[in-house]
Amino acid sequence: MNILIPTPLRPFAGGQNVLQVEAGTVGEAIHALTGAHPELRRHLFTPEGKLRAFVNLYLNEDDIRYLPDKENTRVSAADSLSIIPSIAGGSDRRGGRGFGAMQINP
């Protein structure tokens, strides 16, 4: 199956944006990936071995956290696994939508 590597992790995956692994489950695919590219491990997992909270693993369109069998989900050669770090943030501006917090551009 294909594993799509996000831009920030490519330096730790031989510079490639997609890697092919032979695997029967999602867990085996990740194991094969980190076996071939050990540097990826600390970017994907905490020192305790848990998937980092901001790392999302998608089997095709599905978040593996919400699949009934999670990492034991069966995969076929036609599936693709995407590694996607989360994107979020915000201005932290306090107050509501009124004019109180407005910034005037000089």
DSSP helix/strand/coil, 2: strand
Burial class (CB in 10 A: 0-12, 13-18, 19+), 29: buried
Alpha carbon distance 99, 62 (integer Å)? 41
Q: Are strands 2-4 and 80-85 parallel, antiparallel or unpaired?
A: parallel
Q: Which is nearer to Zn ion, 78 or 102 (CB)?
A: 102
Of other proteins, Zn ion, none, which one sits near residue 32, judging by CB under 5 to 8 A according to partner kind? none
Does 89 sit near Zn ion (CB under 5 A)?
A: yes
Which residues here bind Zn ion, judged by CB under 5 A?
A: 89, 91
Query: Site residues (CB under 8 A) for other proteins?
Result: 4, 6-8, 11, 17-18, 42-43, 52, 54-56, 58, 61, 63, 82, 84-94, 96-97, 101-105
